[in-house]
């Protein structure tokens, strides 16, 4: 779907539908049976150009999420009615900041039009083709035009992340993800794929312990992005040091020998959503050209109970040298991340951010509204949380505290991969990962996206399946830091 900005005025109304928002008590025409309530929509057909009135609810309770949902649901309705083009006039926006509203509107409409289908025939419900923001002046068109450019680049990254996460296990193997990642190589982005042999030579015993149970060969992706122009003061102690992103890439998680119940096991194709977000972020970096160096690491493997699979009770030696007693082969995400986090140390990172569908417990704690963030650094955690509030990919912080360590003490190895009881599942995941940081002083944040990475039904106007969480969050984080060039 194409997004563009134009200046209004003498132009005749474009074919398609213009969307106008109303607060409670406002009406498009005095006679209209419409009250501006949240969720309310009134379609006003015309010969060529239709109009859609969309309610936002009470003006004093307005927030960005309300506009996101109203925009996405309006777009879904119009696509369902066979409309191909939508417009939004900044002039008609009922609050002062029309430019921000236009951005949220455009982004929500754009993201709502994602489709994933493996049907043999093209689906009949076609998405919208284009969206125009009609501006009040040439200057506004300039500003909104660059905002739309940014939104499209990020949304393309989100769509790539959603595509990869949505791929069923048989179609989204480690080899297939590696093949798609390689296509992003070029310009400022370099992609390297470490195969099983290379990982063996490095000593990634924890990662490979998970890969053993499957015939699909594992792959460890390494992305490097080096900006042409940098933001930082060259004298700053972190100058030139990259932000390292790490994504869990379990292309299918059966649980391994500690096999999962079959109910909803098919959803475990989404267990590569962290890696998908990393790949989406590097894809968008090609267009957005952030002014900080970035490294992306994605350990990719299946978790299956084949004849060579790791057994409960096996002890493996991680890249860090620490030994791990694998008490439950279904706690595999932390095993592959242990090696990836330690590997991150090679790049002398300014900060490390990992994203992982790590624990079912995260859904119990926070549901699907907030993802969990665990961090050894208040400033990093706070910036990520702020970015989350702004873009709607919300993060709630859970504690890391040495008091939890006793729960993962092993009687034979340095650490065990699950606690004895069922206490604090998401925190334990974080406590385990923390032990594998190459340098505990480097700011690190772990995002547990187990409950937020997909939604089998879709809601609030968003399509069903993967959400692509992490991509928008990371770019909002960079934008707020001042690390994105003006477009
Ligand atoms: N990928 C799962 C976590 C998960 C489960 C994400 C359900 C989304 C929905 C992870 O590998 C896992 O199996 N975790 C275990 C950990 C436990 C064995 C300590 C879990 O959450 O049950
Ligand atoms: Mn698992
Ligand atoms: Zn998993």
Which of 85, 109, 136 lies at the terminal end of a domain, its last residue? Answer: 136
Q: pLDDT over 70 for what percent of the chain?
A: 99
Quick one: 395 and 432 in the same domain?
yes
Burial 163-180 (b: 16+ CB within 10 A, else e): bbbbbebeebbbbbbbeb
Q: Is 253 in the pocket of ligand 1 (CB under 6 A)?
A: yes
Question: 339 CB under 6 A from ligand 1?
Answer: no
At 118-146, the pLDDT tens digits run 999 988 889 999 999 999 999 999 999 99
- Give domain status of residue 107, yes or no: yes
Return the percentage of the chain with pLDDT > 90, whole number.
94
Examine the domain organization and report whether 174 and 115 are in the same domain. Answer: no
**Across-strand partners of 142?**
none
pLDDT at 190: 98
Q: Is residue 13 part of a domain?
A: yes
Q: Which pLDDT does position 459 carry in this prediction? A: 92
Q: Identify whether the C-beta of residue 247 lies closer than 8 Å to the C-beta of residue 224.
A: no
Please indicate, yes or no, whether residues 205 and 342 belong to a single structural domain of this protein.
yes
Q: Looking at the predicted structure, is the pLDDT value of residue 14 above 80? A: no
Q: What is the largest CA-CA distance in the chain?
A: 78
Q: Each residue of 160-181: pLDDT tens digit?
A: 999 999 999 999 999 999 999 9
Confirm whether 146 is domain-assigned.
no
pTM above 0.85, yes or no: yes
pLDDT at residue number 12: 60
Domain boundary among 70, 102, 136: 136
Predicted pLDDT of residue 48: 82
Overall average pLDDT of the 208-220 stretch: 99
412-459 pLDDT per residue, tens: 999 999 998 999 999 999 999 999 999 999 999 999 999 999 999 999
CA of 351 to the centre of ligand 3 (A): 24
Q: Domain boundary at 80, 103, 136, which?
A: 136
Please name the residues in contact with 452: beta carbons below 8 A apart, sequence gap of 6 or more: 368, 369, 370, 371, 393, 467, 469
CATH of the domain at 454: 3.40.630.10
pLDDT band at 10 (very low <50, low <70, confident <90, very high): low
Looking at the CA of residue 425, tell me the nearest atom of ligand 1: 19
pLDDT of residue 13: 61
Interval 178-197: pLDDT, tens: 999 999 999 999 999 999 99
* CATH code, 52: 3.40.220.10
Query: Ligand 1 in contact with 403 (CB < 6 A)?
Result: no
The SS3 of residue 61 is: helix
Could you tell me if residue 144 is inside a domain?
no
Burial (0-12, 13-18, 19+ Cβ within 10 Å), 312: middle
**Residues contacting 445, CB < 8 A, separation 6+:** 351, 352, 353, 354, 373, 374, 375, 377, 380, 381, 384
Domain co-membership, 44 together with 122: yes
230: pLDDT confidence band, cut at 50, 70 and 90? confident
> Which residues lie below 8 Å from residue 359, measured CB to CB, with a gap of 6+?
425, 426, 429, 448, 450
> Residues with catalytic annotation?
260, 334
- Give domain status of residue 141, yes or no: no
In the prediction, which pLDDT does 239 show?
83
Q: Residue 62: which pLDDT band, with cuts at 50, 70 and 90? A: very high
As given in the structure block, the two tokens for residue 182 are 């390689």
Residues 328, 234, single domain; the answer is: yes
Q: Is the CB of 357 under 6 A from ligand 1?
A: yes
> Are 393 and 269 contained in the same domain?
yes
* Six-digit token string for 395: 């993060």
Q: What's the pLDDT score for residue 321? A: 98
Distance 343 CA to ligand 3 centre (A): 20
Show the domain range for 474: 155-481
Query: Is residue 207 located within the same domain as residue 289?
Result: yes
Name the residue with the closest Cα to ligand 1, atom 13: 330
Question: Is the pLDDT score of 11 beyond 70?
Answer: no
111 and 189 share a domain? no
Q: What is the mean pLDDT of the chain?
A: 96
- Residue closest by Cα to atom 6 of ligand 1: 450
Residue nearest to atom 5 of ligand 1 (CA): 360
Say if residues 442 and 349 touch (Cβ distance below 8 Å). Answer: yes
On whether both 72 and 175 belong to a single domain, the answer is no
Q: How far does the centroid of ligand 2 lie from the alpha carbon of residue 175, in Å?
A: 20
Residue 149 lies in a domain: no
Tally of domains in the chain? 2
Looking at all shown ligands, the one closest to residue 429's CA atom is 1
**For range 243-262, the mean pLDDT:** 98
Q: What is the pLDDT of residues 316-347, one digit of tens each?
A: 999 999 999 999 999 999 999 999 999 999 99
For residue 142, tell me if it sits in a domain. Answer: no
Instruction: Indicate the helix (H) or strand (E) that contains 232.
Output: none
Residues 102 and 163 in one domain: no
Strand pairing category for 351-356 and 444-448: parallel
Q: Give me the mean pLDDT over the 218-239 stretch.
A: 87
Mean per-residue pLDDT, 51-76:
97
For a pocket test of ligand 1, which of 261, 336, 360 has the largest count of ligand atoms closer than 8 A to its C-beta? 360
> Is residue 383 over pLDDT 70?
yes
DSSP 129-159: -EEEEEESSHHHHHHHHHHHHHHHHHHHHHH
Encode pLDDT of 15-55 as tens digits: 899 999 999 999 999 999 999 999 999 999 998 899 999 99
Answer whether residue 487 is part of any domain: no
Same domain, 195 and 339: yes
One domain for residues 324 and 441: yes
Q: Judge whether residue 314 has pLDDT over 70.
A: yes
Is residue 350 scored above 90 in pLDDT? Answer: yes
Q: Can you tell me the mean pLDDT for 386-407?
A: 98
């Amino acid at each position: 779907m194409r997004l563009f900005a134009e200046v209004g005025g003498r132009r005749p109304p474009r074919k398609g539908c213009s969307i106008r928002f109303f607060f409670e008590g406002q009406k498009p025409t005095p006679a209209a049976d419409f009250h501006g309530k949240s969720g309310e929509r009134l379609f006003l057909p015309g010969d060529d150009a239709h109009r859609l009135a969309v309610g936002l609810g009470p003006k004093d309770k307005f927030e960005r999420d309300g506009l996101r949902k109203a925009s996405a649901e309006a777009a879904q309705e119009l696509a369902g009615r066979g409309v191909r083009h939508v417009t939004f006039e900044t002039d008609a926006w009922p609050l002062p900041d029309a430019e921000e509203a236009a951005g949220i509107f455009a982004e929500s409409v754009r993201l709502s039009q994602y489709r994933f289908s493996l049907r043999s025939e093209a689906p009949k419900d076609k998405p919208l083709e284009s969206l125009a923001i009609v501006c009040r002046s040439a200057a506004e068109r300039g500003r909104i035009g660059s905002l739309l450019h940014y939104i499209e680049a990020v949304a393309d990254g989100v769509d790539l992340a959603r595509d990869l996460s949505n791929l069923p296990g048989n179609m989204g193997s480690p080899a297939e993800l590696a093949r798609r990642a390689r296509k992003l190589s070029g310009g400022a982005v370099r992609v390297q794929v470490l195969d099983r042999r290379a990982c063996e030579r490095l000593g990634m015993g924890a990662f490979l312990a998970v890969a053993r149970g499957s015939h699909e060969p594992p792959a460890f992706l390494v992305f490097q992005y080096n900006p042409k122009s940098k933001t930082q003061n060259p004298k700053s102690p972190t100058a030139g040091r990259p932000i390292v992103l790490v994504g869990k890439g379990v292309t299918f998680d059966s649980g391994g020998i500690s096999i999962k119940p079959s109910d909803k096991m098919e959803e475990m194709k989404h267990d590569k959503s962290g890696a998908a977000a990393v790949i989406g972020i590097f894809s968008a970096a090609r267009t957005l050209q952030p002014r900080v160096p970035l490294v992306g690491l994605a350990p990719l493997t299946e978790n299956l109970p084949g004849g060579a699979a790791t057994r409960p009770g096996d002890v493996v030696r991680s890249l860090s040298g620490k030994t791990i007693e694998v008490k439950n082969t279904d706690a595999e995400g932390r095993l592959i991340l242990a090696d990836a986090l330690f590997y991150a140390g090679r790049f002398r990172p300014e900060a490390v951010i990992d994203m992982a569908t790590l624990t079912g417990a995260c859904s119990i704690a926070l549901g699907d509204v907030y993802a969990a963030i665990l961090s050894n650094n208040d400033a990093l955690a706070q910036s990520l949380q702020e970015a989350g509030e702004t873009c709607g990919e919300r993060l709630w912080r859970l504690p890391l505290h040495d008091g939890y360590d006793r729960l993962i003490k092993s009687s034979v190895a340095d650490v065990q991969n699950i606690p004895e009881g069922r206490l604090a599942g998401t925190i334990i995941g974080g406590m385990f990962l923390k032990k594998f940081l190459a340098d505990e002083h480097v700011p690190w944040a772990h995002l547990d996206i187990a409950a937020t990475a997909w939604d089998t039904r879709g809601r609030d106007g968003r399509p069903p399946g993967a959400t692509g969480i992490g991509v928008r969050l990371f770019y909002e984080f960079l934008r707020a830091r001042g690390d994105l060039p003006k477009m």
